[in-house]
A and B are shown apart, each in its own frame.
Chain A
Amino acid sequence: MMSMKVMVKLFASYRKLLPAESVNGKFEVELPPGATLADLMSRYQVPLTEDSVFLINGLTPAGLDQELFDGDTVAAFSAMAGG
């Protein structure tokens, strides 16, 4: 089965969840086809609650069960007052 490659970026306080191989706050993962946002995020202990903000290719996902595709960039950060 063809796996897919997804880029993951964890910002600010979520940087502590980055795996060792990440560079500049991002890393690439291989996922099985059909993997969802929730599947990916739970792998790295990113809270799947409203405490987190997720972006897929910079866009607002429809839901945690949104399917990911080869070449996607997923970003996550903690919901927190801004600047």
Chain B
Amino acid sequence: MYGWHNKLLRVNLTDQKVSIEDIDPQVSKDYIGGRGVAMRYLFNEVDPQVDPFAPENKLIFATGPLTATPAPTGNRYMVITKSPLSGALTNSNSGGDFPTWMKRTGFDIFIFEGKAEKPVYVWVNEDQVEIRSAEHLWGKDTHATTDIILEETDPKAKVACIGPAGENLVLMAAIMNDKHRAAARSGVGAVMGSKNLKAVVCQGDKNTRMYDEAGMKQLSVKISKEVGADIKKGSSLREYGTAYVPAVTNELGILPTRNLQTGVFEGVDKINGPALRDQFLISHKPCYRCPIACGRLTEVDVPGYEGKGEGPEYETLAAIGSSCGIDNLAAITKANYYCNELGLDTISIGMTIACAMEMYEKEIIPEGDIGQPLRFGDADAMIAMVQKTAYREGFGDTLALGSYRMAEKYGHPELAVTARKQEFPGYDPRGAQGMGLLYATSNIGASHMEGDLAYSEVFGVPEKIDPLSTDRKPELIMRFEDAFALIDAAGLCVFLSVRYVFDKDVMLWPTRLTELMNLTTGAGYTPAEILTAAERIYNLERIFLIAAGSGSNDDTLPYRMLHEPLTEGPAKGRVVDLHVMLPRFYQVRGWDENGVPTPEKLQALGLA
């Protein structure tokens, strides 16, 4: 087998039984790997109406055929399950080191099903798989958990685990790997916690076999050299990490500020890349086999906020920073460390706290319920809320529900800035129309990673398009959604992929990605076939969503986005013109006017 091991590890936590299965090579070929093959299994085995916390829900970890190959950034894994936050799917993705170690166990995919009676962790050492007690780890944060597990298993192994947030079924709980990297969105950590699964540890030497090893190495080196040459010219990601972004989105007037009441933040210079570099940066940090090195190793020595770790990333600076009206970078960075240690999604917790701040200031939430004031700009209150949420203490028990259910509880669901009950990422779509269409139609609720047209609307990759126009956005969002599904299925990182393995045209034709896939797997794909595979993945997800009750009824955005125009900045006066883009999006997708894939579309994709 080339590229894919075509082996699956199934762990039944109820029966404490482990089994090894073959993956049908045709399934791998048709669904690429990673997110695609995982979705095929989820669709086959899980009722779309399942309660996400029921033992019948399955938690799937998935690598791709390019994971653990010389491909630059060939080191990503996905977590696929039904989300307790959104009731939709999850496509949680992470880098670090763990993905490569997982692929080297000799399995492409892990499926965790059922529920353990008592906390356990799973130690995967190639074919030797043990389900071990984690009772001594329950309650510990992700860093302590990782250290203890490595001592008990193999110091050179790699760990993915949950912290107190996942254990307490906080709806925005993340799965942390390598201590500082997160499969963060959609409550995947809570699903893991609901199964009493504390951690997964991986070690092995089963490298990915390649069909044309020499060819693969040659192309990989070529791509790495191109990246290197660009970095020499000057790389914002290498120099500043994703922290360079607040100045850019602020200039466009789309930096989420005070729960997206505006898109311009007066404190942006204090939370921007240069501020992080000047005050807290130790060095850049790459994931395994990445030439870009966008990661940040940081340390804060400001009294009251001391800590060391990785980040913060842009999304954190937006959600915990500007969206909470906070410009205290030391506090934001400390909160970021807490989120990594406790296992929380920084986007959802930040945006949920922002929503609570707005409701507090509007006297919708009484101070007595919170136990203290919670105003925009109060960094210490924000940190207190982060900690309380992980432990469901006091008002943290309400925050743990996410902003939509919290706002609904207080009679104002329209103040939650979510799609499918999942909190928005760091781009106000009133000033980036394509992102509005993306948030409304993504199969996981509001997310930038499901087809990040911000690459073009904001960052000019592969080419700059006008964020304020709705022209072509339906076609572009479809293509970006499929392209990102492809990247998630193949096992690469988007930071490399969009620029270096797709053609330099905004329609993202996957010429070089196809080459990498063929050199690795020998599958003989054409670029058209590989894009069709992506469309197949996307439509399979959509069918599941519709069966779960989340079809066109949920293809929408909050009232603020549709009816409250921005009052300042370049996008002043704009709302998201979703009604202009959505019907045409259904058309280009080959769906009917109710957003349901037509029989012809399903047949063409082999999904009929």
B370 within 8 Å of A by Cβ? no
Report if A83-B314 is in contact (Cβ < 8 Å); known contacts: A16-B234, A58-B252. yes
The winner among B243, B459, B499 for most chain A CB atoms within 10 A is B459
Secondary structure type dominating chain B contacts: helix
The winner among B244, B245, B426 for most chain A CB atoms within 10 A is B244
Q: Is the CB of A78 within 8 A of B251?
A: no
- Which residues in B have their C-beta under 8 angstroms from that of A55? 251-252, 570
What is the minimal beta-carbon distance from B15 to any residue of chain A, in angstroms?
Answer: 43
Segment with Cβ contacts to B, from A7-15, A27-35, A36-44: A7-15
Q: Is the CB of A12 within 8 A of B244?
A: yes
The winner among B242, B248, B466, B498 for most chain A CB atoms within 10 A is B248
- Which residues in B have their C-beta under 8 angstroms from that of A25? 247, 269, 274
- Which residues in A have their C-beta under 8 angstroms from that of B247? 9, 11-12, 25
Number of A-B contacts (CB under 8 A): 97
The winner among A55, A58, A59 for most chain B CB atoms within 10 A is A58
- Which residues in B have their C-beta under 8 angstroms from that of A53? 459-460, 464
Roughly how many angstroms separate A82 CA and B255 CA in the complex, as a whole number?
Answer: 13
- Which residues in B have their C-beta under 8 angstroms from that of A79? 459-461, 464
Report if A81-B314 is in contact (Cβ < 8 Å); known contacts: A24-B269, A58-B253, A60-B464. no
Q: Is the CB of B467 within 8 A of A60?
A: yes
Residue of B nearest to A17 (CB): B234
Q: Is the CB of B455 within 8 A of A77?
A: no
Partner of B569, one of A58, A75, A80: A58
- Which residues in A have their C-beta under 8 angstroms from that of B281? none
Roughly how many angstroms separate A43 CA and B368 CA in the complex, as a whole number?
Answer: 59
Instruction: Convert B238-264 into 0s and 1s, putting 1 for each residue whose CB lies closer than 8 angstroms to a CB of A.
Output: 011011110110011100000000000
- Which residues in B have their C-beta under 8 angstroms from that of A15? 274
What is the minimal beta-carbon distance from A18 to any residue of chain B, in angstroms?
Answer: 11
Q: Is the CB of B273 within 8 A of A12?
A: yes
Instruction: Convert B305-321 into 0s and 1s, putting 1 for each residue whose CB lies closer than 8 angstroms to a CB of A.
Output: 00000000111000000
B235 within 8 Å of A by Cβ? yes
A57 within 8 Å of B by Cβ? yes
B495 within 8 Å of A by Cβ? yes
Q: Is the CB of B235 within 8 A of A83?
A: no
The winner among A53, A55, A58, A81 for most chain B CB atoms within 10 A is A81
- Which residues in A have their C-beta under 8 angstroms from that of B252? 55, 58
Query: What's the interface size class on A, roughly?
Result: 20 to 34
A50 within 8 Å of B by Cβ? yes
- Which residues in A have their C-beta under 8 angstroms from that of B466? 60
Residue of B nearest to A53 (CB): B460
Q: Is the CB of A77 within 8 A of B248?
A: yes
Residue of B nearest to A16 (CB): B234
What is the minimal beta-carbon distance from B211 to any residue of chain A, in angstroms?
Answer: 29
Roughly how many angstroms separate A9 CA and B247 CA in the complex, as a whole number?
Answer: 10
What is the minimal beta-carbon distance from A15 to any residue of chain B, in angstroms?
Answer: 7
What is the minimal beta-carbon distance from A6 to any residue of chain B, in angstroms?
Answer: 15
Q: Is the CB of A77 within 8 A of B464?
A: no
Report if A12-B499 is in contact (Cβ < 8 Å); known contacts: A50-B460, A50-B463, A82-B458. no
B352-397 with Cβ < 8 A to chain A: none
- Which residues in A have their C-beta under 8 angstroms from that of B108? none
B345 within 8 Å of A by Cβ? no
B468 within 8 Å of A by Cβ? yes
Q: Is the CB of A80 within 8 A of B570?
A: no
Partner of B455, one of A14, A57, A81: A81
Which A-B residue pairs are the 5 nearest by beta carbons? Answer: A83-B314, A58-B570, A83-B242, A12-B236, A79-B460
Given pairs A81-B498, A81-B499, A82-B452, 8 additional interface contacts (CB within 8 A): A13-B234, A25-B269, A55-B251, A58-B251, A60-B466, A80-B499, A83-B243, A83-B314
Interface residues of A (CB under 8 A from B): 9, 11-16, 24-25, 50-53, 55, 57-60, 75, 77-83
Interface residues of B (CB under 8 A from A): 233-237, 239-240, 242-245, 247-248, 251-253, 269, 273-274, 313-315, 426, 452, 454-455, 458-461, 463-468, 494-496, 498-499, 569-571
- A–B Cβ pairs within 8 angstroms, 15 of them: A11-B247, A12-B248, A12-B273, A13-B240, A50-B460, A50-B464, A58-B253, A78-B233, A81-B499, A82-B242, A82-B248, A83-B242, A83-B243, A83-B245, A83-B426
